[in-house]
Structure 1
């Protein structure tokens, strides 16, 4: 079978990982890269290094990965769509949802695979979590809470923590719960002297009624990537930094200590840490991109889904500007 010819736009922090893994994806041949800054990290290693997307297109590519700063996503995506190239754009899809929607509509109109790199969908812990939730292991679902915090990444200069990290949590929550967002409320903080927020706390409700909560910052000396899902039968905790999934079951034995029982509401039961195979999420995402081009169903974030994710984050930032007022997604779209 003829391999898909792939091009890589951007060879910075994320681009270098894409370049490494594209070489290992069966049925895909990385043929060239494009970056106006050249290739200081030697990602290309024997491949042509171009300055412009147009040169990459002229090399005859079938698919492309766009891993450049957010403010340049739209120009690259539109040029690749015009050339008929299936494209995966790193998240967020664009600077704002209006432009993102135009990108999504352009790829759809041309019948091209347009995807966005919400890689957490391919984290083994979250994939296991969603499988177990769909099997009914937790019963009715009540709440999803995420925590994503770490030190400030010097590579990010054009967006705040909400669009850079918050988009991960919004997308994975909607994907795990199989529901879109209905409304959000948020508070932000600016502690590092930048024009963009470096801390955000979001509370929201999904269309299926679930309550959600996201705590995100660039101000912590330790790295945390945790998703907590609470339901009728207990709580799942997915640690996406390690790929681990743990289940805390509600107890079945009645507590004899009456005051403790009344306070807790449920009793503590067994704790199970699951063992399962763990593939590198980014490689799994690139394999899914290949499969989508071949016409297979995948768990890739579509561009339309990525637009909704960006709309949710924009609504959260609007809420913060309005002192935490609740913003409905319909209201955010109209504004």
Structure 2
């Protein structure tokens, strides 16, 4: 156990990095020691707010500061180099998802952290969403009985700031990790449709149909084309359906009135009917605050982080497979040409 004040730093102070800095500065027993960004003005503005040191070179920051932990919050293509440098200095690291640009780089970072004896975690923030945590508890308690289907919708406006990856890596990795967390069964088959309407070089729409080894069916609806942000996940089982709203952190149970304690296969002879809708009591918390608090506790007490590097690699590998399958019968060049033709 580490009893001293933990010294934290953030590399990359864009929209997400600024929030990492804000949370570290507010956590008890944690000092935001430094921020680093190639944009000096952005780093300076943040440093003036939180009274921490400014760097534009992460090598200089790692050499000069005695740090306990670092958040790497930069474009995906820079994850590997920055995280590798942090690990090499013996500093615990949180890498915003995805873990790296490639699966191979992800495994290299995991091995480097193991050799150095430091913690590595990946910023799959929805693991810390109270609605998802409550849903996991309900499923573990078998409140739905046999599970049939899981559906996830993560859509919203086009983010002009994201240019290095498409919607699969940026958004679908959230849902892939949550499916792994909630279902715990490998995907054995998938059908994927991709399209590019607005993004200059990557897909901005994903529709996927999944089959899990346990027999469940999954559906993903992910895009950057919807004029309002929707973040919703539903699970259907023999006793009804749970719907989790990521944004409001509401969890609602829609009862199958025909069930009334009956078990499958008897229920199959009766069918499904509409019953009560019950909104469960879920305490609201900021997921990022909970994520960074959990990371700091893991560093302080020497425990394993909630989201392992292996979980991050798994989410990235499945996302890459979705892109590969989506483009297999429709090469990228033809996909882009068709999208431009439709857009024109």
Q: TM-score, normalised by structure 2?
A: 0.87
Q: 1:319 aligns with which of 318, 325, 328?
A: 325
Q: Does residue 239 in structure 1 map to residue 245 in structure 2?
A: yes
The answer to which of 196-205 and 41-50 deviates more is 41-50
Q: 1:248 aligns with which of 242, 254, 259?
A: 254
Counterpart residue number, 1:213: 219
How far apart are 1:71 and its partner, in Å? 0.8
What per-residue deviation string (whole Å, max 9, x for no partner) do you get for residues 115-161 of structure 1?
00000000111011001111111112222110000001121010000
Q: Distance in 2 between matches of 1:281 and 1:110?
A: 29
Counterpart residue number, 1:201: 207
Counterpart residue number, 1:28: 30
Counterpart residue number, 1:56: 61
What per-residue deviation string (whole Å, max 9, x for no partner) do you get for residues 26-73 of structure 1?
221110011111242722222111012222212110100011111111
Asked if the contact 2:193/2:326 (under 8 Å) is kept, the reply is yes
How far apart are 1:299 and its partner, in Å? 6.3
Asked if the contact 2:103/2:316 (under 8 Å) is kept, the reply is yes
Q: 1:87 aligns with which of 93, 97, 100?
A: 93
1:40-55 correspondence runs (5 A): 40=42, 42-45=45-48, 46-55=51-60
Q: Structure 1 unaligned runs (5+)?
A: 255-261, 325-335
Counterpart residue number, 2:13: 11
The answer to which of 93-102 and 176-185 deviates more is 176-185
The 1:233–1:323 alpha-carbon spacing in structure 2 relative to 1, beyond 3 Å, is: farther
Q: Distance in 2 between matches of 1:122 and 1:159?
A: 24
Q: Distance in 2 between matches of 1:125 and 1:142?
A: 20
The 1:110–1:300 alpha-carbon spacing in structure 2 relative to 1, beyond 3 Å, is: same
Point out 4+ residue stretches in structure 1 off by more than 4 angstroms: 296-299
The 1:228–1:36 alpha-carbon spacing in structure 2 relative to 1, beyond 3 Å, is: same
Q: CA RMSD in A?
A: 2.1
Q: Does residue 266 in structure 1 map to residue 275 in structure 2?
A: no
What per-residue deviation string (whole Å, max 9, x for no partner) do you get for residues 218-247 of structure 1?
001011000011112110000001111000
Asked if the contact 1:116/1:300 (under 8 Å) is kept, the reply is no
Asked if the contact 1:199/1:219 (under 8 Å) is kept, the reply is yes
Q: Structure 2 unaligned runs (5+)?
A: 261-267, 331-344
The 1:224–1:9 alpha-carbon spacing in structure 2 relative to 1, beyond 3 Å, is: same
Q: TM-score, normalised by structure 1?
A: 0.90
What per-residue deviation string (whole Å, max 9, x for no partner) do you get for residues 171-216 of structure 1?
0111112334334321100111511000011222334332211110
Q: Does residue 161 in structure 1 map to residue 180 in structure 2?
A: no
SS of the residue 1:16 aligns to: helix
More helix by share: 2
The 1:183–1:28 alpha-carbon spacing in structure 2 relative to 1, beyond 3 Å, is: farther
The 1:299–1:249 alpha-carbon spacing in structure 2 relative to 1, beyond 3 Å, is: farther
Q: Distance in 2 between matches of 1:139 and 1:20?
A: 42
Counterpart residue number, 1:177: 183
Q: 1:290 aligns with which of 292, 296, 301?
A: 296
Asked if the contact 1:143/1:231 (under 8 Å) is kept, the reply is yes
Aligned length: 318
